[in-house]
Each structure stands twice: as structure tokens, then as C-alpha cells.
């Protein structure tokens, strides 16, 4: 049948003379008309729906839509409450968690989980607080099945582990992941939660300088997502794999990133898709395939600029492309702008990576005095960890001796990723 007009929907939910079976079948299969039905029900209100006249199928759909609407309202309210919580000082946050009845709902705890996952990269300390609040609340939640309570607890432990990892507390991160894994075995054994635990464990291994272990774990995670028929999650995992591989095998990284894009087709996949495309361009640059790297970049430039985070990373890509085509003046300008912006935004790890790429530019052109000057400057940046400054001193020594090679820079970039803190 054609789309339902509003008059037909009103008749359907008022018990009028319409073909209820045909309308109900269409509503189930048509998202647009289903949304219209929700609007009609809301406008009619309780008094507008003649309960006694309703066909059973109309009554069932009305109950379903109203339940969905109520659930959505609770989820939106919970998200707003999390924003309210984060606007308070620590003492008021604790008071809210301890005594405000609005915090004692499944929706609020799940909103804490989602917010923790979204904030972990930019603010792991806040994520830690949210997860700890969630663990306090979920223990006291009533009316939940035991398996659901266990699963929510596992999610909170996993996100807390990721936050502790980012705070350089890998020991605690591993302990939390072990707790989460043991707990999920007594819960629903949800394959998505098991895979998420594996994904964070792989990140801990990578941070510990064990990329081989990280790759093995991520490959297992990818397979779990494929078995669970979750192609989008499998694609995101492939992007993680490609990112690790790119440091030592740009040809394989390009292949994996390209394959990942086939899975990343949803609206929620835009950022991981941009990451995959960026890895593809960087891998081509590492291989010295200038023309193909430029074509790949030009084809996807607008998309990359919109969804790469932060956008300043695109400037580093452009600097590397300019260097590949021997446009040295332009490359130096782009490197300089990117490094300055990374510093201004306190993105010190990204800044150091760009500095290492710039050092490679100088060494490739045998501009040893410029390379020494860069090492000396980078070593004095107080905002970076002492281990990174020590790395710069090591590179400066090899630069002064004119023995710095590509493999040294590759190892430095690997160490930067694995041992930043």
C-alpha cells in the first residue's frame, strides 16, 4: 500500500472504519509512517483514543509506541541529568549520587556508561569518576534481572579500565579487565561485551610495548564481532589493527584499512571511516607512492576534513604530501602550523609525532643543523613526559653524529605510541 495519510492513522487509532490489518502491516515495515503514527497518538492523547472501539492490532501498536516514547523520554532525561551531574563540584556530585532519587534508575546508569565511553579520550579522569558513580548505583538498583545488572557492571568496569589505561595505570587496568571478564561469564556472556573487553586489553598491551600481543587479541576480537554478525564493530577493530600495523608494514596497513571501509557504511561509522582513509593515505606516503597518495587524499579531502579529529591532523598529512612532491617550503610551513596548533591545544603526543615526522624531513634532506635544532627544542618542552625528553636527547646524539636513520625514527614513533607516559 501507499504511505498512510494522517486522517487514516487517526481513524485507525480511534477505532474507525479502516482496514486495520493492512495499516498495521504497513506501519511495521515503514519507518516514516511509524513516526507519523507516534505523532498522531501523541496528538490524540488518552481521551482521543476510543479504547473500546480499537482493533486488537491497533491497541497493541498504540501500547508499543507509547512504551517506546516513554523509554525515549527517560533516556533523554537521563542524558540531561548526566550533564547536570558533570556541571557540579565533586561534593555536590557525591551528594547527588548518594541521595537524589533521579540517579537511581537503569537509564541514568546506562547514560553514565555512554558518557564515560564518549569522554574517555578527552578526559579520562572524569570518566573514572562517572564509572565509579555507576558502580555504586548499579549495586543498589532494584527491579533488574541479575544478568542485566552483571552486564552493566561489566560495562562500567571495562570503561573504567580504559580510563585507568589512559592515566598510565596499566596494572589497575588489567585487574579491572580481569574482573569484568570473570563477571561476564556469570552474566549473559554477551559477545559484544566480551569483544569490548578484548579491545581494551589489546590497547593495554600496545601501551605496554607489546604490539604483537595486541594484534593477536584484536584479531580474536574481530572474529568475535563477525560471528556475532556485527560488521560495523568488526570494521572498527580492523581500523585499530591497521593503525598498529602501519608503523612497521604500510603495505599491509593499507590493505587492512581498505578492507575495513567495506564494513563502515553506517551513520555512526563516519569517524572510524575517516580514520581508515587517513591510514590509507599515510601508508601510501610511507611507501613513497606520491601520485596514488595524492589521488586518494584529493578524492576524500572534504570527508577527512569534516570527520578527522582533530582536523589539524589533516595539515600533517598535507605537509607529508608536500614533502613527498619536494615542495619543501610549503611542507615546512604546514608542519610548523600543525606543531604550533597541537601545542596550543595541549595535544602533546600528536605534537611530538609531528615533530618526529619533521625530523625525518630534515634528515632525508641532510639538513643536520636544522635537525639538531629541532631535537634540542623538543627536548626542552616541559609539558611532555620525561621519557619523551630522554628520547629526544637520544635522537639528538645520533643526529649530531649524523648516524640517524629511517629505522631509528620508525622505532621512535613506535615508542611514542606505546610508551608516551
* CA-to-CA separations, 110 to 113, 141, 151, 208, 274, in angstroms, rounded: 5, 12, 11, 30, 28
Please tell me the distance from the alpha carbon of residue 254 to that of residue 278, in angstroms, as a whole number.
10
The domain of 27 spans 1-83
Domain shared by 108 and 146, yes or no: yes
Please tell me the distance from the alpha carbon of residue 326 to that of residue 335, in angstroms, as a whole number.
14
Listed in order, strand segments (DSSP E) in 325-407 are none
Structure-block grid coordinates of residue 355: 615533530
Domain shared by 182 and 64, yes or no: no
Nearest Cα to Cα of residue 128 among 74, 168, 77, 84? 168
Domain boundary pick from 173, 192, 223: 223
Domain shared by 36 and 93, yes or no: no
The predicted structure's pLDDT at residue 154 = 96
The region that residue 145 occupies, defined by phi over 0 for left and psi between -120 and 50 for alpha, beta otherwise, is: beta
Mean pLDDT score, 303-326: 86
The predicted structure's pLDDT at residue 415 = 80
The predicted structure's pLDDT at residue 73 = 85
214-254 per-position pLDDT tens digit: 999 999 999 999 888 889 999 999 999 999 898 889 999 99
Domain shared by 46 and 99, yes or no: no
The predicted structure's pLDDT at residue 54 = 67
Whether 42 has a pLDDT exceeding 70, the answer reads yes
pTM of the model: 0.74
Residue 172 within a domain: yes
Nearest Cα to Cα of residue 353 among 259, 278, 272, 273? 278
pLDDT higher at 71 or 350: 350
Residue 54 within a domain: yes
Nearest Cα to Cα of residue 174 among 160, 187, 186? 160
The predicted structure's pLDDT at residue 391 = 93
Residue 295 within a domain: no
Please tell me the distance from the alpha carbon of residue 2 to that of residue 269, in angstroms, as a whole number.
32
The predicted structure's pLDDT at residue 23 = 81
Mean pLDDT score, 103-118: 92
Residue 60 within a domain: yes
Residue 62 within a domain: yes
Please tell me the distance from the alpha carbon of residue 147 to that of residue 159, in angstroms, as a whole number.
18
How many Cα neighbours within 13 Å face the side chain of 356?
26
Structure-block grid coordinates of residue 365: 634532506
The predicted structure's pLDDT at residue 309 = 66
Whether 31 has a pLDDT exceeding 90, the answer reads no
The predicted structure's pLDDT at residue 120 = 85
Residue 257 within a domain: no
The predicted structure's pLDDT at residue 421 = 59
Domain shared by 195 and 219, yes or no: yes
Q: Which value, to the nearest 10 degrees, does the dihedral of the CA atoms of residues 221, 258, 342, 335 take?
A: 150
pLDDT confidence bin for 51, thresholds 50/70/90: low
127-145 per-position pLDDT tens digit: 999 999 999 999 888 778 8
Please state, as a whole number, how many other Cβ atoms lie within 10 Å of the Cβ of residue 374: 24
Domain boundary pick from 223, 240, 269: 223
Provide the CA 307 distance to its chain's centre, in angstroms: 12
Mean pLDDT score, 178-205: 91
Whether 55 has a pLDDT exceeding 90, the answer reads no
Residue 207 within a domain: yes
The predicted structure's pLDDT at residue 363 = 95
DSSP state of 409: H
Whether 418 has a pLDDT exceeding 70, the answer reads no
Domain shared by 45 and 142, yes or no: no
Domain shared by 96 and 189, yes or no: yes
Whether 396 and 375 have beta carbons less than 8 Å apart is answered as yes
Whether 53 has a pLDDT exceeding 70, the answer reads no
CATH of the domain at 122: 1.25.40
Domain shared by 1 and 75, yes or no: yes
Domain shared by 131 and 217, yes or no: yes
Mean pLDDT score, 110-116: 93
Kindly tell me the burial class for residue 375, based on how many C-beta atoms sit within 10 Å of its own C-beta (0-12, 13-18, 19 or more). buried
* Domains: count for the chain: 2
383-394 per-position pLDDT tens digit: 888 889 999 999
Mean pLDDT of the chain: 88
Domain shared by 20 and 139, yes or no: no
The predicted structure's pLDDT at residue 70 = 79
pLDDT confidence bin for 64, thresholds 50/70/90: confident
Mean pLDDT score, 163-177: 90
Residue 251 within a domain: no
Residue with cell 570494521: 235
Domain shared by 100 and 17, yes or no: no
The predicted structure's pLDDT at residue 310 = 66
Domain boundary pick from 68, 83, 98: 83
**Residue 228 host element (H or E):** none
348-398 per-position pLDDT tens digit: 888 999 999 999 999 999 999 999 999 999 999 988 888 899 999 999 999
Whether 1 has a pLDDT exceeding 60, the answer reads no
Domain shared by 125 and 192, yes or no: yes
Amino acid at each position: 500500500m501507499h504511505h498512510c495519510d494522517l486522517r487514516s492513522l487517526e481513524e485507525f487509532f480511534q477505532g474507525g472504519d479502516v482496514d486495520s490489518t493492512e495499516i498495521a502491516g504497513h506501519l511495521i515495515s515503514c519507518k516514516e509512517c511509524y513516526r507519523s503514527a507516534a505523532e498522531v497518538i501523541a496528538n490524540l492523547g488518552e481521551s482521543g483514543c476510543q479504547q473500546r472501539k480499537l482493533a486488537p492490532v491497533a491497541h497493541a501498536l498504540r501500547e508499543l509506541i507509547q512504551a517506546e516514547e516513554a523509554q525515549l523520554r527517560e533516556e533523554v532525561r537521563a542524558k540531561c541529568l548526566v550533564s547536570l551531574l558533570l556541571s557540579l563540584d565533586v561534593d555536590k556530585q557525591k551528594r547527588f549520587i548518594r541521595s537524589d532519587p533521579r540517579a537511581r534508575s537503569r537509564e541514568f546508569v546506562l547514560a553514565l556508561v555512554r558518557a564515560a565511553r564518549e569522554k574517555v579520550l578527552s578526559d579520562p579522569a572524569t570518566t573514572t569518576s562517572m564509572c565509579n558513580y555507576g558502580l555504586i548505583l548499579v549495586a543498589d538498583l532494584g527491579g533488574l534481572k541479575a544478568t542485566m545488572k552483571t552486564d552493566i557492571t561489566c560495562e562500567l568496569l571495562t570503561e573504567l579500565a580504559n580510563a585507568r589505561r589512559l592515566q598510565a595505570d596499566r596494572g589497575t587496568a588489567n585487574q579491572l579487565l580481569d574482573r569484568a571478564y570473570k563477571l561476564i561469564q556469570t552474566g549473559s556472556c554477551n559477545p559484544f561485551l566480551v569483544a569490548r573487553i578484548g579491545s581494551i586489553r589489546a590497547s593495554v598491551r600496545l601501551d605496554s610495548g607489546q604490539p604483537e600481543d595486541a594484534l593477536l587479541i584484536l584479531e580474536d576480537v574481530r572474529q568475535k564481532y563477525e560471528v556475532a554478525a556485527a560488521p560495523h564493530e568488526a570494521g572498527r577493530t580492523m581500523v585499530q589493527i591497521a593503525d598498529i600495523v602501519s608503523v612497521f608494514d604500510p603495505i599491509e596497513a593499507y590493505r587492512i584499512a581498505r578492507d575495513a571501509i567495506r564494513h563502515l557504511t553506517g551513520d555512526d561509522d563516519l569517524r572510524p571511516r575517516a580514520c581508515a582513509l587517513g591510514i590509507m593515505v599515510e601508508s601510501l606516503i610511507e611507501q613513497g607512492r606520491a601520485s596514488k597518495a595524492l589521488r586518494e587524499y584529493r578524492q576524500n579531502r572534504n570527508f577527512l576534513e569534516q570527520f578527522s579529529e582533530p582536523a589539524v591532523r589533516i595539515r600533517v598529512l598535507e605537509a607529508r604530501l608536500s614533502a613527498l612532491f619536494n615542495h619543501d617550503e610549503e611542507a615546512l610551513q604546514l608542519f610548523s602550523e600543525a606543531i604550533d596548533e597541537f601545542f596550543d591545544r595541549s595535544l602533546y603526543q600528536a605534537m611530538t609525532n609531528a615533530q618526529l615526522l619533521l625530523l625525518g624531513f630534515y634528515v632525508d634532506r641532510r639538513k643536520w643543523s636544522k635537525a639538531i635544532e629541532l631535537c634540542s627544542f623538543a627536548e626542552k618542552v616541559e609539558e611532555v613526559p620525561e621519557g619523551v625528553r630522554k628520547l629526544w636527547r637520544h635522537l639528538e646524539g645520533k643526529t649530531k653524529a649524523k648516524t640517524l636513520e629511517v629505522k631509528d625514527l620508525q622505532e621512535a614513533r613506535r615508542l611514542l605510541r606505546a610508551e608516551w607516559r
